[in-house]
Structure 1
Amino acid sequence: MARLILLNKPYGTLSQFTDSSMDAPRSTLSDYVDVKGVYPAGRLDRDSEGLLLLCDDGRLQARIADPRFKMAKTYLVQVEGEARDEALDALRRGVMLKDGMTLPAQVEAMDPPALWDRDPPVRFRKSVPDGWLKLTIREGRNRQVRRMTAAVGLPTLRLVRWQIGDWTLEGIAPGEWREIRI
């Protein structure tokens, strides 16, 4: 039976258990998860927050993280600007990035979700509107969601991974985790 941990990774935390930086110490997974033998199945950038899966089974880890399996990952994305139909349609078709064309995304504009406050807060500009997207991708390139939204003129302000496959953040506060046996 494999162990699977659903962690709500806080903003500013590295997706690893140790920090090899010689600079000021940075927050790592070990600040939140004291479970031996589990490793992240994929990554979530330091400036992103939300669902990170950790497991103790190599096959499960590969199935979750490897782009060949195209496991759906859903993000709640606060963007700068108004999400017009042209931008959403471009995301749905796939976007050309420096490393090639992305697969089509499922995307819709949404009302601001009921999320926890971020520390530090997202910058607010009176003269520039912002909006929220629910965006699902099935690949995992480096900083892909941020690059996709920027490519259609909607820079990302806040990025929260909400769901991977059937696993969600529902009921898990930042820095907290839930274990599932599968």
Structure 2
Amino acid sequence: MILIFNKPMNVLSQFTDEGKWPGLARYIDQPGVYAAGRLDRDSEGLLVLTDDGRLQARIANPKFKLPKTYWVQVEGVPDDVALQTLAAGVDLNDGRTRPAKARLIEPPDVWDRDPPIRVRKSVPDSWVELTISEGKNRQVRRMTAAVGHPTLRLVRVAIGPWSLGRLQPGEWITTTVRP
């Protein structure tokens, strides 16, 4: 079984609650499925869950280079140099990231975030679509910060052949699509 879930902001990528943060059990009542990879508590969007251990390992393991696409709202407007740096790979404290795809996009049609992002009247914001093929800890946030554009909001919209589609936060569907 494969589930596609739109993980809301401030929900953990595990079934058990932890302190004030709710887990997946508040949204998904399917025994035997587990998250294939993680999505940080303060990130939103696509989380794939499965009862297939081999598939779970394949999705989560960076050696399979399954692409993950994010819509990232950042402070400022990245110029061509910043976008090229993101695409070529960014030097982080735990090594250089793999090459990625990065482009500016128009503000996407996504749900309102709760809580809303912090807005600074003197600093514009913009959206970047970033596709990576690895999963270092908080990688996308660290990449955008490294090029001078801190992440304000992070929404994962695709992993390999799966996409969020029109699922709203907290909604999930089953699928038969496999990588």
Which TM-score applies when normalising by structure 1? Answer: 0.95
The amino acid of 2:3's aligned partner reads: I
1:108 correspondence with 2:103: yes
The amino acid of 1:171's aligned partner reads: R
Q: 2:80 aligns with which of 85, 94, 99?
A: 85
1:117 aligns with 112
Q: 1:30 aligns with which of 25, 44, 49?
A: 25
State how many pairs are aligned.
177
The offset of 1:125, in angstroms, is: 1.1
1:70 correspondence with 2:65: yes
SS in structure 1 opposite 2:170? coil
SS in structure 2 opposite 1:37? coil
For 1:102 and 1:131, the matched residues in 2 are separated by 22
The amino acid of 2:108's aligned partner reads: P
Q: 1:8 aligns with which of 6, 9, 18?
A: 6
CA RMSD of superposed structures (Å) = 0.8
SS in structure 2 opposite 1:114? coil
The offset of 1:175, in angstroms, is: 0.2
The amino acid of 2:5's aligned partner reads: L
Q: 1:174 aligns with which of 160, 169, 176?
A: 169
The offset of 1:119, in angstroms, is: 0.3
For 2:105 and 2:166, the matched residues in 1 are separated by 20
Q: 2:42 aligns with which of 39, 47, 54?
A: 47
> What percent identity do the matched residue pairs reach?
62
Structure 2: unaligned runs, 5 residues or longer: none
SS in structure 1 opposite 2:116? coil
For 2:87 and 2:112, the matched residues in 1 are separated by 29
- Runs ≥4 residues deviating over 3 A: none
The offset of 1:181, in angstroms, is: 3.1
For 1:156 and 1:127, the matched residues in 2 are separated by 16
SS in structure 1 opposite 2:12? coil
The offset of 1:150, in angstroms, is: 0.3
SS in structure 1 opposite 2:41? coil
2:15 aligns with 17
Structure 1: unaligned runs, 5 residues or longer: none
The offset of 1:26, in angstroms, is: 1.7
The amino acid of 1:82's aligned partner reads: V
The amino acid of 1:58's aligned partner reads: G
For 2:67 and 2:155, the matched residues in 1 are separated by 14
